[in-house]
């Protein structure tokens, strides 16, 4: 699946914030321009945020600039900061499964996946099994005593190349660009803009995790949470074209030239 198929045109001309969506979520982070002046927030004792730069986002032109901005705001682990950037495949010896050890060996407070490669969902499923083990060991083995273990930290997935159902079942939410039949002819002139859009979304996502701490449940407020993270560009829930069923935690950025009201 080509990442270009998701990087759709129609993201120009959006210059208003989604104030209504932010107001609907208590404690929501305002979708400010990520480049504006903010106080440094380096608190590694609270945990680290692991960011995987996968397909479509592992080119130096994108990840070097994004990591630089995150370093300025939150610091990298090597600086005593909270960001652990992982460039796939180079940082992971070519195996996405290696994120398991990195995530479990650190005090992790969030995971962000950009262009998650194939089989990422298998590692996320393994993580879920690991969360269950300590609590299950304390249970007496009866059905009534089996623990209902809560997800310990947020997991956000943007533009995955992995099995989409596996992503939906293991992440707080999945976000993609709306498909377009005309994307190929407009892709070249839109690439720089789209990279900038994703970079802004990434920085907001990091800020959201740093300030909110807890995972986002699949409730009626999830849409507003994701809209705040996305910022100016309107989103809606993904609807399967064959079944007509609407996803609970899978969203797409709409192809629209109109700013949010």
Burial grade of 184 (CB within 10 A; 0-12, 13-18, 19 or more): exposed
- pTM greater than 0.85 (yes/no): no
* Tens-digit pLDDT string for the chain (261 aa): 444 444 444 444 444 444 444 444 544 545 555 555 555 556 788 899 999 999 999 999 999 999 999 999 999 999 999 999 999 999 999 999 999 999 999 999 999 999 999 999 999 999 999 998 865 555 555 545 445 568 999 999 999 999 999 999 999 999 999 876 555 545 554 555 677 899 999 999 999 999 998 999 999 999 999 999 999 999 999 999 889 999 999 999 997 645 444
Tell me whether strands 246-253 and 235-239 are parallel, antiparallel or unpaired: antiparallel
The answer to whether residue 211 is domain-embedded is: yes
Report the number of distinct structural domains present in the chain.
Answer: 1
The answer to whether residue 38 is domain-embedded is: no
The answer to whether residue 95 is domain-embedded is: yes
The answer to whether residue 101 is domain-embedded is: yes
- Which range of residues forms the domain containing residue 20? 3-32+43-135+149-253
The answer to whether residue 97 is domain-embedded is: yes
With CA atoms as reference, report the closest residue to 43 among 16, 83, 90, 1.
83
Q: Please report the pLDDT score of residue 196 as a whole number.
A: 84
Tell me whether strands 246-253 and 173-177 are parallel, antiparallel or unpaired: parallel
The answer to whether residue 37 is domain-embedded is: no
The answer to whether residue 178 is domain-embedded is: yes
The answer to whether residue 143 is domain-embedded is: no
d(CA 208, CA 52): 17
d(CA 205, CA 228): 9
Q: Are 212 and 154 in contact (CB under 8 A)?
A: yes
d(CA 183, CA 95): 31
d(CA 40, CA 69): 12
């Amino acid at each position: 699946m080509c990442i270009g198929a998701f990087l759709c045109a129609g993201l120009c001309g959006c210059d208003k914030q989604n104030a209504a969506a932010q107001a609907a979520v208590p404690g929501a982070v305002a979708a400010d321009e990520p480049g504006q002046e903010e106080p440094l927030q380096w608190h590694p004792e609270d945990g680290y945020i692991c960011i995987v730069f996968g397909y479509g986002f592992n080119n130096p032109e994108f990840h070097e600039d994004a990591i630089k901005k995150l370093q300025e705001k939150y610091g990298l682990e090597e600086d005593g900061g909270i960001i652990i950037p992982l460039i796939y495949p180079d940082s992971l010896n070519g195996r996405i499964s290696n994120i398991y050890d990195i995530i479990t060996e650190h005090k992790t407070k969030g995971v962000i996946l950009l262009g998650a490669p194939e089989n990422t969902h298998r590692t996320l499923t393994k993580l879920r099994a690991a969360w269950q083990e300590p609590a299950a060991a304390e249970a007496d083995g009866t059905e009534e005593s089996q623990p209902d273990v809560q997800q310990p930290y947020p997991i956000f997935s943007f533009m995955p190349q992995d099995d989409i159902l596996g992503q939906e079942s293991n992440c707080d939410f999945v976000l993609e660009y709306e498909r377009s039949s005309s994307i190929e002819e407009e892709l070249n002139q839109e690439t720089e803009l789209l990279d900038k859009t994703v970079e802004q979304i990434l920085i907001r996502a990091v800020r959201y995790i740093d300030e909110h701490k807890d995972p986002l449940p699949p409730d009626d407020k999830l849409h507003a949470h994701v809209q705040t993270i996305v910022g100016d560009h309107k989103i809606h829930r993904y609807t399967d074209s064959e079944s007509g069923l609407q996803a609970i935690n899978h969203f797409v950025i709409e192809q629209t030239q109109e700013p949010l009201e």
